[in-house]
Chain A
Amino acid sequence: MKLGSVVALALVLAGIAFTVRAFVSNTSPYVKVNQLETRGQHVHLPLKPLHDTIQFDIKTMTLTFEGEDDTGRVKVVYPKGKPNNFEAATQVVVIGSYKDGVFHAEEMLVKCPSKYQGETQK
């Protein structure tokens, strides 16, 4: 029984350590445009896409657009195609890193002005 408790304790500690590590490595803060210079790596950036700046190159499937929040404006490059509801989006959250004046998005969450719930686009 003693041995059992020691093993259990060790497992629990290892589990906690593992969880904390996974937690830290997968946390990504929400930032504003004016914070990109100082902390722009691996962040969530909510933006309002400016629809007249949208360019989509169907050959390379690269989407470029400018987006703004209340602190400024930034150019975003997203290499994974154009999300299906992008034109209708009022708000997007781009996830990625900022480099040399451009935000390179790896993922993008698109939200639509729809009043329905349960609408997912990835």
Chain B
Amino acid sequence: MITGYVVVWTGVVLALASVLLYALSGKYSQVVRWARGAFVGAFVAVIGAEALLIYALLVGRYDLQYVFSFSERSLTPLFKIASAWAGQEGSFLLWALWTGIYGLILMRTAGGYERWVMTVYGGVLLLLVAILAFQSPFAPLPKPDPAPPVWPPQDGFGLNPVLENPWMKIHPPIIFAGFAALTVPFAYAVAALWRHEYHEFAVRVRPWAIYSATMLGFGLALGGYWAYETLGWGGFWAWDPVENSSYFPWLLMAAGFHGLLLQINRGRMVRWNPLLLAVPFILFLYGTFLTRSGALAEVSVHSFVNMETNALKLLMGMLLGSGMLTLGLWVWRYRQMPLPAPDTTRGFSREAAVRWGIMLLSLSALISLIGTSWPLITRAVGKQMAALKPEFYNQVHLPWIVITAVVLAAAPMLSWRGMSLDAILERLTKSWLAAVGTGFALFFLGFREPVTLLICTLVAFTAYANLGAIWRRLRTSRLTLGGFLTHVGLAVTILGLILSYAYERKERVVLVQGQDTFAMGYKWRYLGMTGNEKFPGDPLADKFNRVRIEIASHKEKFVVEPRFYQDQRRETGNNVVWPAIIRWWDHDLYVSFFAPPQVDATPLTLSVRENEKGTVDKYTIEFLGFQTGGSMGGEGFRAIAKARVSHPDWKAPVEVEPFRIVTSSGVVPIPVPLPDGAQILVGQMDVNRRQVQFQLVMVPGKPETTPRWVIPLEVYYKPFTILVWLGPPLTLLGGLLATLRRARDGKYGVARATLEPFPAPPPRPITPRRRNPRRAKEPVVAHSEQAQE
């Protein structure tokens, strides 16, 4: 698709032009207009590329490598669109698209920072589009040799069934909205170091920092739901490298905007903040590199595709370049940076609490970063490569969560300037009592493991203290409650994760067709497979096959339908599973497979020598001798064992000739029916000893000899998963509220308790925008609510 290449390369040229023009615009201010135009042009090119790709997917251009690999005719239009981010090229395009969108907003809101911040930002867009130019989603499908009769193919290979579920439509766009937003704080941080200006920077970057952390956090939560609902391993989070590499940028960005809070309200952290805000983007690049370059291929359970060489070089260049640029600038500027305001707090202060929070967030990020990189580190120092078990992260975060919960609970009650221990304890009494009450309630509900109970009580303490803070603000300043709402949401999520993990009950239930099984306080029964209607005999071939299972207790009775099918497109039968989840308000019953369902039978067996007799059950079998048919050893070769079978209920013995036949897929025994409906097969043959093993299946009155489905299920009882669903939306809402509030600061200026207000942004030289201010026309000294406390 030539148009695609043209569009992408146009984007490269325009993005490059934008970077150069913005860099020049310091000397020639008229150039800004052109620089903006070039950036908008590059953005239009990215949108054009995305639109072209979606168009190609919708109309089914299966002559394109990407479309062929990730789409197929039978997909619904929405899934065809969603396959635009199923592959590597597509996800880079999505990343570039969000980067472009944020760039437009940034361009209009950066004020006096526009030139610097847009130069850096445009550079990032340039590299992303350049990666797309080398690893193009519009590459043609290579023609195989010899060419197939129909070319180009009329249908695609199709979307990976694991991806073909509703979460695919929303999770990737949201998490890339978070990833791409990390670029803005990075660009601001580099611009601030470059300009050597740190006050306006802090105010302008703050809404972006909060926004990116909010979106990234919500994206992570959606990824957790996806894993829980479709992967079937019974959890939300597994500390896999792919998960970790979005986890540590998220934590550090959270640390970053808390640093800005200290800088703006207290004049602290001035020198560290630029670094803290740039690093999440760099770490995200590092994570992308880890997961795309194949560096962790042996460590992760995710499968990776290696990138095209030039594209990978660009990504590595981006990683090294941004890392060295930031670090170099920061070290160079460090000694000249303004000194932080002196510490004027006494006793226990909110300032100290926030500082602790930043340290705790950074610590968790650092540990996850080292843990994820450990295989690379051990290999790099020439040791035997070693990996960390996921258990490591759980263990380390146990004491971490204790301290974090206390800090988060105390923070909203503390004053900035500090207060005595007695005063803070008094303020915390109510929340503490509520938390202890919750602890007791959990205890009586049966959650009695002491460490977990303590942690849950503390996390509930956090939730109550922040709820209290919200309650007080509801009457006075509603806009300020965003931060506390995020904390409540986080506490609720963590509580749900801990309770549902620590108190889950797990049991293996192997269902056998026609038999009742008792487990988890229920009676389980296999009912059948829906795929039987479409594919009698091979229900697992049906893409929508559901395994119907009836679960009954003395109170209730219901049917669960986990999904299982074998994806025939892959050579060796790729098994696709979807767990079934039944939800109550207080727990989930989670039903998944731990092995593929299979057909099993226990035949009656009997080994007999030639011209001898044997008896099994009431059948007497006499082995009369071997015969062969077909060419020896070749396909179609038959090894026949002649036998005479008698049974007391039959009038006369019968003579049968069961045989084994060599087929392309191996040696297959062919059964022969007997008068009572049973069937006889030949098992192992020992030609030298003239001995044969006969097998009898479908014997009347012996159900175990009849082939039947065996369904190996793993069943989880998971309490309070509802909290995991409740928390993230609260955090999202809180984060968006805080973003909106801080975006206004950038527009109108803000007074800091300790710093001078930054000057009003200079009037725009080119196209002054019409503004419709709600509060004031001129940048005013707005109040800062926390600063007054």
By a beta-carbon cutoff of 8 Å, the part of chain A in contact with chain B is 11, 15, 18-19, 22-23, 26-31, 44, 46, 51, 56, 58, 61, 80-85, 87-88, 91, 93, 95, 109-122
Contacts and interface: CB of A to CB of B under 8 A. Distances in A.
Given A18-B396, A18-B399, A85-B575, A120 B301 contact: yes
A44 B387 contact: yes
Interface string B294-310: 00001111111100000
B388 interface: yes
Given A30-B385, A30-B387, A117-B303, 14 more contacts: A27-B386, A30-B386, A56-B595, A58-B598, A58-B712, A84-B593, A114-B160, A115-B69, A115-B305, A116-B86, A118-B162, A119-B160, A120-B162, A122-B238
Contact of A85 (B242, B385, B389, B574): B574
Size band of the B side of the interface? 35 or more
A26 B396 CA distance: 11
B573 interface: yes
B87 interface: yes
A120 B233 contact: yes
A83 B575 CA distance: 9
A112 B303 CA distance: 7
B227 A117 contact: no
Contacts of B595: 56, 58, 61, 81-84
B374 interface: yes
A94 to B, nearest CB: 12
Given A19-B367, A114-B303, A61 B508 contact: yes
A69 B227 CA distance: 31
Nearest to A27: B386
Nearest to A46: B298
B302 A88 contact: no
A33 to B, nearest CB: 14
Given A29-B385, A58-B598, A82-B595, A116 B162 contact: yes
Interface string B158-186: 00101100000000000000000000000
B544 interface: no
B724 to A, nearest CB: 18
Contacts, number: 137
B139 interface: no
Instruction: Describe B's contact surface by its main secondary structure.
Output: mixed
A56 B595 CA distance: 10
Interface of B: 69, 86-88, 160, 162-163, 227, 231-233, 238, 240, 242, 291, 298-305, 363, 367, 371, 374-375, 378, 384-389, 391-392, 395-396, 399, 403, 508, 510, 570-577, 593-596, 598, 600, 710, 712
A26 B389 contact: yes
B386 A29 contact: yes
Contact of B302 (A51, A115, A118): A118
A28 to B, nearest CB: 6
Nearest to A51: B572
B389 A28 contact: yes
Contact of B301 (A46, A80, A109): A109
A23 B240 CA distance: 16
Given A87-B572, A118-B162, A120-B238, A111 B386 contact: no
22 contacts: A19-B396, A27-B374, A27-B388, A28-B388, A30-B298, A56-B595, A58-B600, A81-B508, A81-B595, A81-B712, A85-B574, A88-B574, A93-B298, A109-B300, A109-B301, A115-B303, A116-B303, A118-B162, A118-B163, A119-B160, A120-B231, A121-B233
A87 B574 CA distance: 7
Contacts of B375: 30
A85 to B, nearest CB: 6
A122 B231 contact: yes
Contact of B573 (A83, A87, A95): A87
A28 B238 CA distance: 17
B594 A80 contact: yes
A19 B392 CA distance: 9
Given A18-B399, A111-B301, A58 B710 contact: yes
A27 B389 CA distance: 7
B141 to A, nearest CB: 14
Contacts of A84: 232, 575-577, 593, 595-596
A84 B600 CA distance: 17
B392 A23 contact: yes
